[in-house]
Chain A
Amino acid sequence: MNGASLSRWTLSYFASGLAALLVGEILLVAGFGFPSHALDSPQTLVLVHLVAVGWLSLLMCGALIQFVPVLVAKPLAHPDLPAIALPLTIAGLASVILGFLGMAGAGFGPSPWLQLGGIGLACGFALNIWNLGRTMWTARPIGLAARFVALGLASLAGVIALGLVFSSTIGGWSANDVVVRLTSQAIPIHAALGLGGWLTVTAVGVSYRLLAMFMLAPEAERRTSAVALYAGGAAFLILLVGGPVCILVLNRDPTHPLAAALVLATLSLTCYGYDAVGLYRARKRKKLELNTRMAAWALGCLGLGLLLTLLATASGEINRSIGALTFLFAFGWLTGLGLAKLYKIIAFVTWLECYGPSLGRRPTPRVQDLVDEGRVLPWFLLYFLSVAVASAAAFFGAPFVFRAAAAAMLAATGRICVEFVRIRTLRFVSKPLLPQDAGAWPRLLLTKLQPLKS
């Protein structure tokens, strides 16, 4: 059973995701996609899918195959299925991007890139949903954090279903009236389910547990946590059922279900924010580690983004500001939280891999001995500052400032990635505590599962 809870493929997902993030940021600097191009332009679609699928979704899947077993105290149902899901997802994403580039005028031959990409993404994500869902199903009854994850996976299934509809319609495989109407009007539902239902709900669920674990705070299931879950679940149902009903049955655009979902999401995230502040206050670890300090910045971006979304909706400015707000959610909240937690998770996984089998046999470093927080802190601060500037520049329509801020984001992200590599290569561990056995050194992109020595 040793190592059963250590996922072999998590770091491969993280590395693929980080590569997609860096490419996405390079595109931002180059002026490719929003805000240099329109929100519904093929260039923006390339950028959005690169960030939402290539970075955030792979990051989330990689984290879930490691942490769902922790959340439900059961090993992953199919430990090696993620190895099949990853290349399928990457191939699907590459094909979808080729399809969007084709829409932008770049010629990549007559192949149905969009449709093939949709199928590839659906297969890749379906394998991960099946694997994670089955793991949680066998562990019933599951706790609050895992229920958030289950809701996130259900949202992902909704995102995939709509994505398949869109790709088959835009690609010319289907001209059915129902799918054409969905394609023309359900894109906001697709985006809300993806950014809100899948990525944010899952991040909320995982962070309930991770914040408690890493700050040594009590893991009590509060009433506000349950309200956050049920309100989030209701928002999901309204989007998934109410949206298509509005479009297909009532022949109206999905403004009302989107507004209702926003109200419920506000309630859900307010409760979550209240709980998160409670966890910070109840912590036993007085001196916060970098990952929890930076997570607080990400939470701040979530709160600010939510407040600005409400203000923009109330003032009728939502259409003008939706691009900048989505940018703030994607890069301030989700990416900020992701990079902060990666800094801890990579160190933790590396420690387990290299030093777990030596515990009790010889002196081992702490997880914190694998990192140098002082080196990376300025880059995290630069990252959050540049996200704030870029968001404001996108809102006020200052493309040059936006691209300059994106360049700062790219520099910060690149340097944080270098620190991840240094953690994996044990650069900060003192010489006497380095692994004595050459075979115990970690591989950069693939976790070794070492047997116990007894």
Chain B
Amino acid sequence: MREANDLAECVHEVLREVIDPEIGINIVDVGLVYDVSIDEAGIARITMTTTTKGCPATSYLKDGAREAARSVAGVQGVEVQITYDPPWTPGMMSDVANNLLGF
């Protein structure tokens, strides 16, 4: 269980390498990553969203997250699910993102 949690944390960290191109900040600090978990088979399950439903970058963000997670040693596979429940709001951004945007 601890191994899975550590692996999930590694995946979470590597997702910081994927940026939201419009905002220019990584998708974790923008608040687009809702959940990361690792199942018994070592499959990483990422639940994420986009800043707006129908965003033209959706498939690129989804694929980018999958590719980044796949690079983590120990991850056997990656499943990325896009959800709009709850919808993203600017209030979901981290303090880091708020500081970068001037707030």
Give the distance to chain A from B91, nearest Cβ to Cβ, in Å.
8
**A352 and B52: CB pair below 8 A?**
no
Contact with B along A327-356 (1 / 0, CB 8 A): 000000000000000000000100110011
CB distance from A26 to the nearest CB of B (A): 34
Q: Taking A286-B102, A348-B22, A367-B21 as contacts, is the C-beta distance between A360 and B65 under 8 angstroms?
A: yes
Q: Which residue of B lies closest to A356 (CB)?
A: B60
Residue among A213, A217, A359, A369 making CB contact with B60, cutoff 8 Å:
A359
**When the two chains form their complex, are residues B54 and A286 in contact, meaning their CB atoms are under 8 A apart?**
no
A: which residues have CB within 8 A of B? 1-6, 66, 69-74, 209, 213-214, 216-219, 284-287, 348, 351-352, 355-357, 359-361, 363-364, 366-369, 452, 454
Instruction: Count contacts between A and B, CB distance < 8 Å.
Output: 101
Q: Mind listing 29 A-B residue pairs with CB under 8 Å?
A: A1-B59, A2-B59, A3-B59, A5-B58, A6-B56, A69-B56, A70-B55, A72-B54, A73-B53, A209-B52, A216-B51, A216-B90, A285-B101, A285-B102, A286-B103, A348-B21, A352-B56, A356-B21, A356-B59, A359-B18, A359-B63, A359-B64, A360-B17, A360-B64, A361-B64, A364-B19, A368-B24, A452-B63, A454-B66
Assess whether A360 is in contact with B101, with CB atoms less than 8 Å apart. Answer: no
- Contact A218:B22 (CB < 8 A) given known A213-B52, A284-B101, A454-B63: no
> B61-83 CB contact bits vs A (8 Å, 1 = yes)?
10111111000000000000000
B98 lies within 8 A of A213 (CB): no
Please determine whether B53 and A367 come into contact, CB atoms closer than 8 angstroms. Answer: no
Residues of chain B at interface, number, CB under 8 A = 31
Say how far A401's CB is from chain B's closest CB, in angstroms. 41
Supposing A284-B101, A286-B102, A361-B64 touch, asked if A217 and B54 sit within 8 A by C-beta, the answer is no
Decide: B54 and A216 in contact? CB cutoff 8 A. Answer: no
- Complex Cα gap A360–B44 (Å): 15
**Given A284-B98, A366-B21, A218 and B63 touching (CB < 8 A)?**
no
Q: Given the complex of chains A and B, what is the CA–CA distance between A71 and B55 in angstroms?
A: 9
Cβ contacts under 8 Å, A209 to chain B: 52
Interface residues of B (CB under 8 A from A): 17-19, 21-24, 51-61, 63-68, 89-90, 93, 98, 101-103
User: Nearest-CB distance from B96 to chain A (Å)?
Assistant: 13
CA distance A225 to B68 in the complex (A): 41
B51 to chain A: closest residue by CB: A213
Q: Shortest beta-carbon distance, B49 to chain A, in Å?
A: 12
Contacts of A367 in B (CB 8 A): 21-22, 24
A69, B101: Cβ atoms closer than 8 Å = no
